[in-house]
Each structure stands twice: as C-alpha cells, then as structure tokens.
Structure 1
Amino acid sequence: MKWQGRRKSGNLEDRRGMGNKGKVVAGGGIVAVVVILLQLFGGETGQQLAPLIEQVGNSQTTQQVEQRELTAEEEKMGDFMGTVLADTENIWSQVFRENNLGNYKEPKMVLFTDAVSTGCGNASSASGPFYCPAGQKIYMDLVFFDELQSRFGAKGGDFAIAYVTAHEVGHHIQTILGTSSKVRQLQSQASKTEANRLSVAQELQADFYAGVWAHYNKQYLEAGDIDEALSAANAVGDDAIQKRTRGSVSPDSFTHGTSQQRKEWFMKGYTTGDIRQGDTFSALLN
C-alpha cells in the first residue's frame, strides 16, 4: 500500500510503550477464551465481549506502570496506522455524502501494548483489535499481526493490517447507522444459535464495508494488497479457527463467518463499492 508522505489522522491516540510491569494474571482459562473470540477481529465488543474483557481486567493486579521510548519501526507503524485511519475518514465521509447518510462521525483509534482501559472494560494484549461503541473507539495492539502470521498462517504485508483496521471501522459504521443496536435487540430475544447467526451477519457486513473502503482506495493499492487481505480473512474464519483450536467444526457456534464467507463479502464490497449491497442479514437469515 502506498502510504508514506500522505495525511495522517488527528484521531489517533498512541499509548504504546505505556505498559503494565509486574502484572499478575489469574484465571488463564478466561484469557484463552478472549484470545479465541477477539482474534477473529474484535467486533461489537460492548454487548457480546465486554463482560469477558472486564473479567480479564479484574483478574490482574498492576504493580507498576512503566514507559519506554518507541523504536523506529514502532514509530513507522504508528505513522502507517494514522494514514490508514485518515483514508477511512476521507472515504467514508464521501460515501456518506453520496448516499445521503448524513455527516460521517469519525471514530478514534487507540494503539496500545500490554493492556488498556476502555469504555467496555479493561483489555489485555490478548484481546487483539476490537471496537468499543462506548466512546466509539478502535483499540489495536499491533503485536496481533505477528500472531496472525505465526499462529493463523496469514500472509504478511501492510494491507492485512489495513484490512483489519477497515473491518473495525465497519463496526463503527454499524454503530452510527443504528445496525448494532438493532442486532443487540434481536439477540436479546433470540436463541443462542439465532443470536450467533445475527453475529455472523454483523461481522460479514463489517468485512463488506472493509471491501467498500478498499474499492475507493484503489489509487493507493499495490500488487498483492488484496491477496494479503484475503489471506487474513481466510485465516480467521470461524471454521479455520475451530479446526486449529478444537480439531473439529461446530457451525452453530460460529460468530464471525467461515473463511469463504469472509472473503466473499470483502470481495463483494471491493468489486461493487456500493454500500447498498451489503445487506448480509437478508442474505444469511432469510
């Protein structure tokens, strides 16, 4: 992705290097649950995952806070994230205008290491990227992307990171358009299986929105960028994750969609660039 020398967002808050030293963590089982859930790409954390995050946060005792200088590579990554976030601001402001959706309210992004306090509870570095509707902020621990390659087998490359960022921005769009609140209401009245299906539709729509963003950002894409995004989507499908962690697949427990579904909805957004074609709920639930 061509990103150097371009505008960086003013909505980026860099808390990296401000980690917790001497942290004592109890209850490793719940940490493992959060890793499995959130490493599928966080999602609408406020309703579904905040209790888990809070439980992790409450199970650890911080003895001391330390701060260090960021390395040159970390500084570069911060600049990259600021540029990607700026691109999402430019593009979604345009898409909202073109589709008479009102003014686009920009989210904020927090980069962190080790642990972070959010409006949805305390999160550890195991949380991976996630969106918290309370405060409308995206939280990113960039170490996640190393694990995306080493543990989940995704290709490297900066556009995999851009795709995940755009996916989390997709959850922000669902929040400001009212989709997320409607999903929560329906889930509160649904069976566990049906609630999971609603979650899958919501996550796939966020993938679709990421594809729409990539469509409008073509002028900055380079050869191989879309392959990097598809590799990341493939690596974190529910079926791929369950095969690695359980050795078997349970479709009724899916919350984010299969690898194939995630790739297909991203590509639909990328090829059409039309936000009106992202009704994953009708496609999956009818």
Structure 2
Amino acid sequence: MTFNEGADLDTSQVRSGGSSRTGVAIGGGAGGIILLIIGLLLGVNPFEQGGTSSAFDPSQIQQAGTSELDLSQCKTGADANRDDVCRVVGTVNSVQDYWREALPADANRQYRDAYTVIYSGQTQSACGTASNAVGPFYCPTDEQVYIDASFFDDLTSRYGADGGALAQMYVVAHEYGHHVQNILGVLQYAQQDRQGATSGAVRVELMADCLAGVWANHASTTEDADGTTLIQPLTEADIESALSAAAAVGDDRIQESTTGRVNPESWTHGSSEQRQRWFMTGYESGNLNSCDTLSAQQL
C-alpha cells in the first residue's frame, strides 16, 4: 500500500508518550487483552499491571522511561512511505477519516476521534504500563491506541509477517476497530468471557479484524484535510501483506511456536485462518454490518 506523496499528514491525531489511570486494555495486532497471547503463554498476568490512581491528564505526553519521538518529520504521504512512525500517522489519519463518515451512516453512531500514542521503550497508559513486551493495544479508559515504535520490526522478525506496508497498517486499523467497538458498546464482551475458541474475547478480536478489513476496502477513498486522497488503490500484494500479519498473530500459530502445542481452550484472538477470513469478510463487504462475530454460529 502506498500513500500519495502529496497528501498532508495530520500529526495532531498522534502523541508521543502516555497518561496515567488504571483500567483494562484491549490488544490485537499481536497483543491480547493487554497481550494475553503473550501474557498467558509466558506466565505473565497483564491484568496485574498498574497505573496510578490520579486523574487522566492529556498534557502528560512524556513519561519516565520513554524517549520522545520527533513527529514533526511526518508531513506528507512521501514521509509515510519511507518511515514506520509516519506510516502510523498516515494510517491513523486514514482510518479516522473513514469511520467519521461510516459509523453514522452504517450504525447511526457518532464517531469520536481517538489519539494514538507512539512511544519508544515504555510509557504509562491509563490501563497500565505500555512497553514493547506488551505490544500494540487499545485502552478504553482513555480511548487511546498505544504502539511502540519498534513493534513493526518484531512483527516481521518475531511473528513472521512479510514486512509490507499493509501488514503494519492492519495492526493500526485493528486497534481502531476496538475503538469502534467501544463506541458501539460491544467491547465489554471481551471481559465477560476471556478465553476459549468461541469466547467473547475471540469474538471481539475477530470483529476488530473484520473492521480493519472494512477500512481497507475504503482506504483509497480517504482524504486529508484539503481533500487530497491519502492512499492509492490496494493491490493484491497489499492484501497478501495484511493476511500475512493476520496469520502471524493467530493463537494457534503463536502457541505452536512458543509451546509446541495448540490449546484452543486458552485462545483469546482466534486462529490464523479465522483472523484472515474475518479480515477478508470485512474487506470484501466494505460494511461493518458484516462483522457481527458476537452472534455468528461459526467463527
């Protein structure tokens, strides 16, 4: 996937750093309910990660242990084509431009913008400490997406995605799928039933994959503030790149690579095949109403 070089990037939708207050995060690209994929498999309890009890302060952009990133370099689509951080900025711009119009039209709900916090090393979110060990996640408490700047290297080297642009953008779109779910009031189902092949957690994650596919269908129609198209039409190679990312973070694939066995009873995201299939369901339909995994008889 290629950004139009002359499109303008809006860095006001992205922050460097985090905030504080406790809550529960919803992950996705390679993460769990704060990365339960890794948390449960490696014996870490992500729900024990704490923040402080102070009220959320949006001005707290820089936190201890975090290297502030220079977002001023991200000005145009050409920057998004050459730099991972700028690509996140451009993807956030595109995803939010789509949902601002689609959510009222398709679900009669008003979309509200959500910041993405890009950090290096670690930062404090309203749902606990964000770090490269946690991976990308959405925090419903402060309605922000958190992404470590180095994550996309891990997506390729550790998880086996192909390193293409849409593989990276799929991760961002998936996390914004959780934001859409939060607005729709369905995100709570992940917490009510947290593990298992047909659990609420799996259904919520597969829905976010589907919503990422819906955005991908319309990505080439999204525009910057001046009406310039942000993204060029997708190619077959772009779709294959997104599917490689979806497969890379399937529960079965990660379990096989880390433990040598597959245990559907501990799934939190779904299999590689399911994640790919629901992404394609959203992509082929282009409508969020095709993404009702909560009532689907077959996942």
TM above 0.5: yes
Measure the CA separation in 2 of the matches of 1:161 and 1:85: 12
Pair 1:161–1:254, CA change in 2 (3 A): same
Structure 2: how far apart are the matches of 1:244 and 1:180? 29
Partner Cα distance (2:158, 2:108) in 1: 39
Which runs of 5 or more structure 1 residues have no equivalent in the other structure? Answer: 17-36, 59-63
The 1:243–1:178 alpha-carbon spacing in structure 2 relative to 1, beyond 3 Å, is: same
1:30-82: per-residue Cα shift (whole Å, max 9, x none)? xxxxxxx9675335549998962654889xxxxx7575775979993332221
Separation in structure 2 between the aligned mates of residue 123 and residue 153 of structure 1, nearest angstrom: 22
Shift of 1:148: 1.4
Which of 206, 223, 234 lines up with 1:204 in the alignment? 206
The alignment partner of 1:122 has SS state of strand
Partner of 2:163: 156
TM-score, normalised on structure 1? 0.78
With over 3 angstroms needed to count, the CA separation of the structure-2 counterparts of 1:272 and 1:82, relative to structure 1, is: same
Question: For residue 214 of structure 1, what is the aligned residue in structure 2?
Answer: 216
Q: 1:69 to 1:97 in 2, by over 3 A?
A: closer
Q: Tell me what 2:193 maps to.
A: 187
Cα 1:171–1:12 shift into 2, 3 Å: same
1:1-286 correspondence runs (5 A): 1-3=1-3, 4-9=5-10, 10-15=12-17, 41-42=30-31, 44-45=33-34, 52=46, 54-55=48-49, 67=67, 76-184=83-191, 186-187=192-193, 193=196, 197-218=199-220, 220-223=232-235, 224-284=237-297
Following superposition, the deviation at residue 2 of structure 1 comes to 2.4
CA contact (8 A) 1:108 1:136 kept: yes
| Aligned mates of 2:69, 2:282 — CA distance in 1 | 39
How far apart are 1:246 and its partner, in Å? 0.6
| Matches of 1:100 and 1:56, distance apart in 2 | 34
CA contact (8 A) 1:129 1:140 kept: yes
Structure 1 pair 54/214, CA: closer, same or farther in 2 (3 Å)?
Answer: same
Deviations 1:115-135 (A, max 9, x none): 110000112221111111111
Secondary structure in 2 aligned to 1:180? coil
Question: Where in structure 2 are there 5+ consecutive unaligned residues?
Answer: 19-25, 53-63, 74-78, 222-231
Conserved? CA contact 1:39–1:127, under 8 Å: no
Aligned-pair CA distance for 1:94: 1.5
The sequence identity of aligned pairs, in percent, is 36
Aligned length: 257
Contact 1:40 1:238 in 2 (8 A): no
Q: Which amino acid aligns with 1:221?
A: P
Deviation at 1:285, TM superposition (A): 7.1
For the 8 Å contact 1:204–1:257, the answer to whether it is kept is yes
Give the whole-Å Cα distance in 1 for the aligned partners of 2:107 and 2:151: 36
Q: Contact 2:250 / 2:270 at 8 angstroms: preserved in 1?
A: yes
Please say if residues 201 and 256 of structure 1, whose CA atoms lie closer than 8 Å, have aligned partners that are also in contact.
Answer: yes
TM-score when scaled to structure 2? Answer: 0.75
SS at match of 2:83: helix
Q: How big is the shift at 1:221? A: 3.5
SS in structure 2 at match of 1:42: coil
Q: Go from structure 1 to structure 2 and tell me whether the alpha carbon gap of 1:242 and 1:200 turns closer, same or farther (over 3 Å shift).
A: same
142-151 or 43-52, which deviates more: 43-52
Report the CA distance shift for 1:53/1:13 in structure 2 as closer, same or farther (over 3 A).
farther
Report the alpha carbon displacement of residue 100 of structure 1 after superposing the two structures with TM: 4.6
Bigger helix fraction: 1
CA distance in structure 2 between the partners assigned to 1:103 and 1:140 by the alignment: 25
| Secondary structure, counterpart of 1:88 in structure 2 | helix
CA distance in 2, matches of 1:119, 1:69: 20
Take 2:109 and 2:50, find their aligned partners in 1: how far apart are those partners? 38
Q: Name the CA distance, whole Å, in 2 between partners of 1:111 and 1:43.
A: 18
Q: CA deviation at 1:101?
A: 2.0
